[in-house]
Structure formats: C-alpha cells, structure tokens
Amino acid sequence: MTEQLRLMAVHAHPDDESSKGAATMAKYVSEGVDVLVATCTGGERGSILNPKLQGDPYIEENIHEVRRKEMDEAREILGVKQEWLGFVDSGLPEGDPLPALPEGCFALQPVETAAEPLVRLIRAFKPQVITTYDENGGYPHPDHIMTHKITMVAFEAAGDPEKYPDAGEPWQPQKLYYNQGFNKPRTIALHEALLERGMESPYGEWLERWKQFERRERTLTTYIPCDDFFEIRDKALIAHATQIDPDGGWFRVPMDLQREVWPTEEYELAKSLVDTSLPEDDLFAGIRNN
C-alpha cells in the first residue's frame, strides 16, 4: 500500500492518550504513520491527582487552561497531532447513591448528536485505523463509556453518505480496536516478576480489586512491540503534571524489567473490514499490503 497510513486514537480526557497506547502511537510516528488524537473533553472536572500540586489556587481556578497546556506538551513529546471535540468533562460521580451528572456534560449528550464532530474529524483526517475504549470504557467513567458509544456510531456512519451529510465527504475506516493495556495477564506477569526479584509491587491492590468485581476477560488480539518507546510514553504521561505523581505507582516498575517481561501494548480487534490473521503484531495488518 503506497497511500499514507493514518491512525486515529479517540480518548475521553487529556492524559488518557498518554496512559493508554502512547508507546504504540510513538512507534507508529517513528515509522512515518500520521497519528491523530481526538480528545472528547477538556478535563475540566478532573481532580488534581499529583499531591505536589494539590492546593495550588491558580491550578484549581484554571484547571481547563492548565490541562490544555499539559496536552500541548504531551502531544509534542509523542509527535502526534491532536484535536479537541469540544465537550465538557462529566466528572466521576462518587457516593451512594451516585449523584446526577452535571447538566450539559459530555455523557448526557444524545449519542447521535455527539458523534457528529467525530464523524467530521474522521472524514477530514481519513484514518484507516481507529482505537478507542470497549463498552465498559476500560473502567466505568461516564466519559469513557460515552467515548466508546460515539466512536462506534462514527465508525459506521463516516463512510455512509446518507449519515451526517453536512460533515464532509464520506470516508470508511477499515479497522477499529479497543485499548486493552490494563489487562490481567500483563498485570499478573509484572506483579510476579517484581515479587520474584524481591521488589515491592504496585499491582497487589489492583489484583485484589479484580477479584471483587465480575468482569469478563477481554480477548487480546493484537500485541504491538513498542518497548523502545516506553520512555517516551512515560515522559508524555509526566507532562500531565496535574494528573500523575512522578513518584507514584505508575513508575515503580524498572524499565529493564518492563522490557523483559512485557514489551508490548495490547488491543482487542472490535471491527475489521479487511482480512487479517490473529494474533496480530500490527494495527495495520491486512491494510499495508492491500
């Protein structure tokens, strides 16, 4: 295939692109693939998770602007393009019973309406491959679940001239994947490798929580070798300074151990309009040679 390869990653908030599939994107950028991140919301209702920045009045009062600047830095580190879809963060409801979602937020938009700007972006960028979240959102944040919903609608509608006729010339993506980087086999492998080396593991609580919730195991179809880009992934994530503690659990697994034990990022092939053989080691399998 001589046509430019293009990958679109659809994410809910600024920082999601750096914690889910970032090394994959950096790898493809290095190979000359055109990569675009579509960010659904501005992260306006996100908490300040870095304890070093909590209580900073400027950040608290200007969180939207701060997170946009963080996204700018992460985008440059990864070498990707990025567009905002313009929706307002829904926040993560907490409590029992859960409070109502705030009026006007992303998760309360009609799905068919909210899919329109993504359809428009797909038709303009013309990706052959799209990545997003599964029906559970990866975890049940309302914005992640809504991101899944609009991506499914947009994938089908973008190539249909009768759908969203004012959103540009139709373009049909060929493959759709769900990010599955936080999968159980990877978590267990890293956890056991750390304990075998006499090191503390940050994954013990994760595995305990897994036992408490009935979750079907996802089907991992696609393993992207991208360990050469793990440092870039981590640097992009640290750029989202309000959202990540550089001394926290994300970074407690030594890089050499990560490369040795689990040098890939994983995906679940959800839709494919081309023939491919599973398992894959390339999101463009079935596309490159057609």
Instruction: Classify the phi-psi angles of 79: left when phi > 0, otherwise alpha if psi is within -120 to 50, otherwise beta.
Output: left
Query: Residue 141 has which token pair?
Result: 């944040």
DSSP assignments along the chain, one per residue: --SPPEEEEEESSTTHHHHSSHHHHHHHHHTT-EEEEEEEE--TT-----TTTTT-HHHHHTHHHHHHHHHHHHHHHHT-EEEEEEEPP-----SSSPPPPPTT-GGGS-HHHHTHHHHHHHHHH--SEEEE--TT-SS--HHHHHHHHHHHHHHHHTT-TTSSTTS-S----SEEEEE--S-HHHHHHHHHHHHHTT---TTHHHHHHHHHS--PPP---EEEE-GGGHHHHHHHHHHSTTT--TTSGGG-S-HHHHHHH--EEEEEEEEESS---SSBS-TTTTTTT-
Alpha-carbon span 168 to 123, nearest angstrom: 6
Q: Is 16 annotated as a binding residue?
A: yes
203 Cβ contact list (under 8 Å, min separation 6): 187, 188, 190, 191, 194
Binding residues for Zn(2+): 13, 16, 144
Binding residues: 13, 16, 144
